[in-house]
Amino acid sequence: MVCSDSNPTTNSMDEKQKSLSEGQLIELINDLKGYVAYQESLGAEFFPRSTTKIPPHPTLTEVRRDLGECTRCKLHLTRRHIVFGEGSEKAQLVFIGEGPGEDEDRQGRPFVGKAGQLLTRIINAIGLRREEVYITNIIKCRPPHNRNPQQEEIATCEPFLNKQLEVIQPKIICALGTFAAQTLLKTDAKISRLRGRFFSGRGIKVMPTYHPAFLLRNPHKKKEAWEDMKKIQKEYIK
């Protein structure tokens, strides 16, 4: 039996059929393109848009709504107001303290007492206004008699801080005092060892420094705090 591929006449016909079918294909594609363009001009959709619903980026209002009149830890029993936080949702710089004090508990706003006034002056000294930054605390309710927050209370409240940071996505966090620094950096090192350097927490630069209430009691430490703030200012304007 002789192989048909060895027949030169058959090969030439195959080549002709092949080039003919390529030409037809190009013609067909061009026809199809023209048809699609025409139908689209009439409003037809050939590639329907995805019906998958992407959840909208949450806002601070939504995070606050989720928190509600929170009773997740025992601090709800003694608080007057939840102190959620305030400032710009688009802040590049977020200040995080330990927890509300008496004035904050009464007013429902963060850092409004004497320590808060000092924080406001510090913010102004680096060329910013309170409205341009965001200010909050690790826990949102005042511990009785301003005692230190307990680990269980911090762990219960922390998811809401995380959500706030997810919404704001700041460039820099200034951790005010031991509890804020230790919670954000997952360490038990003291603030005196942590302050003055940038760390990375949640992909954000974190600068621990002294809490303004500590500075009021220890004014000789203000110089060190000011050094820390100058580093923040430099990073902020980069």
Segment contacting ligand SF4 by CB under 6 A, of 17-25, 67-75, 101-109, 228-236: 67-75
User: Residue 67 Cβ, how far from ligand SF4 at the closest point, in Å?
Assistant: 6
178: Cβ contacts below 8 Å, ≥ 6 apart: 98, 190, 191, 211
User: Residue 72 Cβ, how far from ligand SF4 at the closest point, in Å?
Assistant: 4
User: Residue 99 Cβ, how far from ligand SF4 at the closest point, in Å?
Assistant: 8
Report the SS3 class of residue 176.
Answer: strand
Q: Is position 161 an interface residue for ligand SF4 (rule: CB under 6 A)?
A: no
Side by side, the strands of the sheet bearing 134-137 are 86-87, 134-137, 93-97, 172-176, 204-209, 199-201
Our CB check for ligand SF4 shows the closer of 70 and 216 to be 70
Contact code string over 1-40 relative to ligand SF4, x by CB under 6 A: ----------------------------------------
Query: Which helix or strand (DSSP H or E) is residue 207 part of?
Result: strand 204-209
Our CB check for ligand SF4 shows the closer of 180 and 232 to be 180
Q: Is position 150 an interface residue for ligand SF4 (rule: CB under 6 A)?
A: no
93: Cβ contacts below 8 Å, ≥ 6 apart: 128, 132, 133, 134, 170, 171, 172, 173, 174, 232, 236
Q: Is position 156 an interface residue for ligand SF4 (rule: CB under 6 A)?
A: yes
Binding test (CB under 6 A) with ligand SF4, winner from 70, 126, 185, 216: 70
Binding test (CB under 6 A) with ligand SF4, winner from 109, 140, 205, 211: 140
Query: Are residues 137 and 85 in contact, defined by beta-carbon separation less than 8 angstroms?
Result: yes
* 8-state DSSP, 109: -
Closest by CA to 95, choosing from 108, 82, 85, is 85
User: Residue 43 Cβ, how far from ligand SF4 at the closest point, in Å?
Assistant: 52
Our CB check for ligand SF4 shows the closer of 9 and 71 to be 71
Closest by CA to 236, choosing from 148, 170, 146, is 170
CA–CA separation, 105 and 210 (whole Å): 21
Using CB under 6 A, which residues numbered 45 to 64 contact ligand SF4?
none
Q: Is position 65 an interface residue for ligand SF4 (rule: CB under 6 A)?
A: no
User: Residue 175 Cβ, how far from ligand SF4 at the closest point, in Å?
Assistant: 18
Query: Are residues 170 and 184 in contact, defined by beta-carbon separation less than 8 angstroms?
Result: no
Residues found near ligand SF4 in the complex (CB under 6 A): 67, 70, 72-73, 75-76, 82, 139-141, 153, 156-157
